[in-house]
Structure 1
Amino acid sequence: MTTATLAAQQMSPTQVDRIVTPRGIEIWHVESHVVPLVALAFTFEGGGAQDPADKSGVAQMMARLLDEGAGLYDADAFQERLAGRAIEMSFNGGPDAVGGSLKTLVKHADEAFDLLRLALVEPRFDADAVERVRGQMAASLRYQMNDPGVVASKRFFAEAFAGHAYGRPNNGTLDSVARIARDDLAAFHRAAVARGRVKVAAVGAIDGARLTELVDRAFGDLPVDSALAPVEPTRIQGLGERHVCDLDVPQSVIRFGMNGISWRDPDFISAYVLNHILGGGSFTSRLFQEVREKRGLAYSVGTSIVSYRGVAMTWGYTATKNERVAECLSVIESECARLRDEGPSDEELEKARNYLVGSYALGFDTSTKIAHQLAQISFEGLGLDYIARRNGLVSGVTQEGVRDAARRIFDDGKMLVVVAGRPVGL
């Protein structure tokens, strides 16, 4: 047993303390002194869905620039300070949030949290750093133009959420990234990075009093709040449609999607178990057995639940020979309809519940994973005791609950399909 595994077991992440700092910042805290480090995860409400319509990619570019120079330190000097103390700091931008993480040895906590404060409160957005990150994003976008998986995914979201912020690529386009100016980055930073909208989780060898001091030091100088446009609720569009992105490849990549159930919905856990049975359960799922094992149509196939602030959907992926795309889709649609009409077998339901209960602890095997899980649970508003309740909720899922979720998700059987390749007979 490794030290990290032992530490994870002894942290007992069901024991989570809630702290509210003098500056009003809520922290979910797990204290453990097995390893002398602190892992921090945080999430600010407001992500790519807040980008200007003609400048998608602002949130992601801004997040990538936060540690590219701050306060008195330019990009090189800032990174040298981090490296000199083995401090790990990163930021990311998603559709609904800008988030980040920090990991440091306890003995370097003061400097680590001071550097985090600079990154959050005083980012420089220097011209050379902006152009460097712009170039990196543009290079990635050019590379993705020939990736059938990315092409299919982007087209899927563009069709599913046409006219909505979720339909625009979170990492932008070549044109939109080229238009982003420093003023856009600074404006987004002012709007999104506010202490009134941050969720913070911390795990490690630090007590509540000390953590309170450090978190207020890092986040306390941020504005309490700022005007942030609410994300308009939407639904997946184009159900029943099939779209082809013409690419000269021998194997077509398929993305398909239908209705979903959000994390905050009372039926989510039933939908989660249903998704495991359909395509989320890897080797045991219906789609894996029917598409790969019985027919040899694809090497991999699966589904997942996407839950955003404004919409939820179930979507899936696979890839198959161009001449077998229609057959593959027919099998997928058939299995969705069977689950809607008949539900899973008692054995399928029992196996799914047992796996999901037994595997849950694997997401808590490091301090960083625990911190990220807690920050996500806080962001979704699921409650401080969710980790303690979650396995009980899964174990309590019934046939009736799964069938109700299947009727909501599969509805009339129509799905939006996007294929990147040259499918035959579709």
Structure 2
Amino acid sequence: MAATVEELKIKDINIPIVFEEDKRLPLVTMQFIFQNSGSIADTTKAGLAKFSAKIMNEGTKELGSSAFAEKLESRAIHISASTGRETFVIELGCLKEEFDEGLKYFELLLKDPNLTQEAVQKVKTTTLGNLARKENDFDYVASNELKALLFEGSVLANPSSGTIDSVKSIDLNDVQEFLDKNLVSSKLIVAVGGDVDIKELKDKISKIIASMPKGEASSVKKYEVSKEVKEKIVKKETQQAYIYFGSPYNISVNSEDYYKARVATFILGAGGFGSRLMEEIRVKKGLAYSAYARLQVSKSSSYMSGYLQTKLESLEDAKATVKKIVADFVKEGVTEEELEQTKKFLLGSEPLRVETMSQRLHRTFMEFYNGQELGNSLKELEKIKKLKLDDLNEFIKFHKEILDMSFAIVTKR
């Protein structure tokens, strides 16, 4: 059955339900997705959204973490909370026969999360330990430094996990206020897939949603990437240089030309072997084991980013090579062979991207979330199939903003 978008009206709010029926296995997956409630909502303290999700994974106040987990495990029910940049997600997964029981615990968690000093201290201790270990993860360090350059002065400049100082400052009241503001029905989208009847589902979840606070909806703010070319060098005890680079990319999630950006970026650096970056940096010059560039487009931002590791003594050569590759790419465009090979890969690998129900459900959700019509992904593939070389090269040459690259580099002291 094709995915659909239904609606459920509660408290004068139309709650969207992205639904994909799949009766091949007796399984059900349900997500409560709260918009504009991920790390983009960390306006007071960096890492608060992710910290709050970890608190939601500590069970209920009445049962506590261990007892709540045991109740779920005895029935093979999975409930977890997580965050993305723009969303806060609580997910339920179980056998069809356990769905009612799963909903019971799902509702208990929403009504009575384990908001205790003990839970906060436990999450704080584990989070600080993880952050301390990441100080020696130089990919993590360079990636965060790049975001700080590209989005200087905005919430997107902060690490989604927070910093040691910001996490230390988070207290019980911060988490309570975050959950009260963000886990509300006015921000809710429901995504459900599996062996479940949509009418029965609506009846069951309407009671849960009706008991939630209404709250206030808010739209996702768009953050512009800094147009100023910057460089940040961080000195660490390392045997390799870690080079992360990024630049503006003036395109939106629902742009008519998004498919062209997808093809162009694949040829430049997202396609692994055969991409420009990999061919020049690894195959021809032997400067790195791998090199990538990716398109990062969402409601809140749009930019290109990439990375590679190289020998300490090859740092300047590698950086100059990246700049030259991108400059030549914008100036000269791509070849007919590169375009045809990319078409074959993107069209040929499509079945792998939608082989599971969760993949199809996620795709449908993203289409709805981004304001696109359902089935947009398939139409995009048709556009890729018909894409002509001259049209692609015209698009590439128009987007000269990707030449304005900033670099975040971790190298030896």
Which residue of structure 2 aligns with residue 150 of structure 1?
140
Q: Give me the TM-score of the superposition, normalised by structure 1.
A: 0.90
From 299, 304, 309, the equivalent of 2:299 is: 309
Alpha-carbon distance, 1:211 to partner? 2.1
Which residue of structure 2 aligns with residue 109 of structure 1?
99
Contact 1:71–1:118 under 8 Å retained in 2: no
Q: Distance in 1 between matches of 2:223 and 2:397?
A: 19
3-state DSSP of counterpart to 1:91 = strand
From 315, 328, 351, the equivalent of 1:325 is: 315
Listed one character per residue, the Cα deviations across residues 394-413 of structure 1 (whole Å, up to 9, x for unaligned) are 32333344334424544372
Are 1:242 and 2:216 matched, yes or no? Answer: no
Which residue of structure 2 aligns with residue 163 of structure 1?
153
Q: Distance in 1 between matches of 2:380 and 2:209?
A: 30
Which residue of structure 2 aligns with residue 90 of structure 1?
80
Listed one character per residue, the Cα deviations across residues 149-204 of structure 1 (whole Å, up to 9, x for unaligned) are 11111111111111111011111111111111111111111211122222222221
Contact 1:279–1:288 under 8 Å retained in 2: yes
Contact 2:78–2:92 under 8 Å retained in 1: yes
Farther off after superposition, 392-401 or 25-34: 392-401
Which residue of structure 2 aligns with residue 357 of structure 1?
347
From 237, 252, 263, the equivalent of 2:241 is: 252
Which residue of structure 2 aligns with residue 17 of structure 1?
4
Q: Distance in 2 between matches of 1:162 and 1:205?
A: 46
Farther off after superposition, 186-195 or 105-114: 186-195
Which residue of structure 2 aligns with residue 26 of structure 1?
16
Partner AA of 1:389 in structure 2 = K
Farther off after superposition, 236-245 or 138-147: 236-245
Partner AA of 2:285 in structure 1 = R
Q: Distance in 2 between matches of 1:211 and 1:330?
A: 57
3-state DSSP of counterpart to 1:411 = helix
Q: Alpha carbons of 1:190 and 1:403: their partners in 2 closer, same or farther (altered >3 Å)? A: farther
Which residue of structure 2 aligns with residue 5 of structure 1?
none
The sequence identity of aligned pairs, in percent, is 26
Which residue of structure 1 aligns with residue 177 of structure 2?
187
Contact 1:67–1:78 under 8 Å retained in 2: no
Listed one character per residue, the Cα deviations across residues 44-68 of structure 1 (whole Å, up to 9, x for unaligned) are 1122222234x11111111111131
3-state DSSP of counterpart to 1:381 = coil
3-state DSSP of counterpart to 2:349 = helix
Contact 1:201–1:374 under 8 Å retained in 2: no
From 163, 173, 177, the equivalent of 1:173 is: 163
Alpha-carbon distance, 1:268 to partner? 1.4
Q: Distance in 2 between matches of 1:167 and 1:202?
A: 33
Contact 2:248–2:402 under 8 Å retained in 1: no
Which residue of structure 1 aligns with residue 361 of structure 2?
371
Q: Distance in 1 between matches of 2:166 and 2:339?
A: 46
RMSD between aligned alpha carbons? 2.0
Q: Give me the TM-score of the superposition, normalised by structure 2.
A: 0.92
Alpha-carbon distance, 1:18 to partner? 2.0
From 119, 138, 151, the equivalent of 1:129 is: 119
Are 1:52 and 2:43 matched, yes or no? Answer: yes
Farther off after superposition, 173-182 or 73-82: 73-82
Contact 1:41–1:375 under 8 Å retained in 2: no
Q: Distance in 1 between matches of 2:345 and 2:168?
A: 46
Which residue of structure 2 aligns with residue 8 of structure 1?
none
Listed one character per residue, the Cα deviations across residues 358-388 of structure 1 (whole Å, up to 9, x for unaligned) are 2122122223333333333322222222244
3-state DSSP of counterpart to 1:420 = strand
From 264, 268, 274, the equivalent of 1:278 is: 268
Q: Alpha carbons of 1:162 and 1:50: their partners in 2 closer, same or farther (altered >3 Å)? A: same
Partner AA of 2:189 in structure 1 = K
Alpha-carbon distance, 1:101 to partner? 2.4
Q: Alpha carbons of 1:362 and 1:322: their partners in 2 closer, same or farther (altered >3 Å)? A: same
3-state DSSP of counterpart to 1:340 = helix
Q: Alpha carbons of 1:397 and 1:102: their partners in 2 closer, same or farther (altered >3 Å)? A: farther
Contact 2:186–2:217 under 8 Å retained in 1: no
Q: Distance in 1 between matches of 2:388 and 2:308?
A: 29
Contact 1:259–1:408 under 8 Å retained in 2: no
Which residue of structure 1 aligns with residue 52 of structure 2?
62
Q: Distance in 2 between matches of 1:120 and 1:276?
A: 41
Q: Distance in 1 between matches of 2:102 and 2:398?
A: 47
Alpha-carbon distance, 1:22 to partner? 3.9
Q: Distance in 1 between matches of 2:186 and 2:344?
A: 39
Q: Alpha carbons of 1:29 and 1:310: their partners in 2 closer, same or farther (altered >3 Å)? A: closer
3-state DSSP of counterpart to 2:107 = helix
Gaps of at least 5 residues in structure 1 are: 1-10
Q: Alpha carbons of 1:352 and 1:85: their partners in 2 closer, same or farther (altered >3 Å)? A: same
Gaps of at least 5 residues in structure 2 are: none
Q: Alpha carbons of 1:406 and 1:223: their partners in 2 closer, same or farther (altered >3 Å)? A: farther
Q: Distance in 2 between matches of 1:223 and 1:403?
A: 51
Contact 2:22–2:357 under 8 Å retained in 1: no
Alpha-carbon distance, 1:420 to partner? 0.5
Alpha-carbon distance, 1:231 to partner? 5.1
